[in-house]
Amino acid sequence: MKVPRVYIDTSVLGGCFDAEFAPWSNGLMRDIRRGLFVPVLSEIVTVEVANAPVNVQTLYAELVSGSAEVLTVNRSALELAEAYQQRGILTPKFYNDGVHIALATVSDVDLLVSWNFKHVVHYDKIRKFNAVNLEWGYKPLQIFSPREVVSYDEE
């Protein structure tokens, strides 16, 4: 059985140490350790984590030393991210959010997880990103918060 590849943005890593998001971010990390998902990160996450607290950097290092894939920013992703900009889906200030989505799309991950409800995990934004993805010949990208992805053990 194929193990789903899950693109994890920086907000999910930080969420492991935030009381509001920790139950689900840590649940996702538990599921990754159990082999239920293959974590996919990117050079964008690497740059963002460099300025994060030490505990977030340590978690990132654990994922990279384990089974994580780290995607390299490439021309296809940058062109797709630019298409998102041209459509006005994101403002230039949030360009990196579009690069996360574009990298996940062109790399054919199974889903992207984020806690960014304003620019990423938002019904209208997801619909617009996927309209562009389809126009460019890519499949729609599944985008969720960790809360919708984490496994819930039987109680």
For residue 103, pLDDT beyond 80: yes
**Planar angle of CA 127, 130, 132, nearest 5 degrees:** 115
Rounded mean pLDDT of 38-42?
Answer: 98
Distance between CA atoms of 153 and 149, rounded to whole angstroms?
13
Q: Angle, nearest 10°, between helix axes 123-135 and 75-86?
A: 120
Q: What percent of the chain has pLDDT over 90?
A: 94
Q: Does domain 5-149 have CATH number 3.40.50.2000?
A: no
Q: Where are the domains of the chain?
A: 5-149
Rounded mean pLDDT of 65-79?
Answer: 96
Give, as one character, the DSSP assignment of residue 20.
Answer: T
Of 32, 100, 95, 85, the residue nearest 60 (C-alpha)? 32
Q: What is the pLDDT of residue 1?
A: 83
Prediction pTM value: 0.94
Q: What is the pLDDT of residue 56?
A: 97
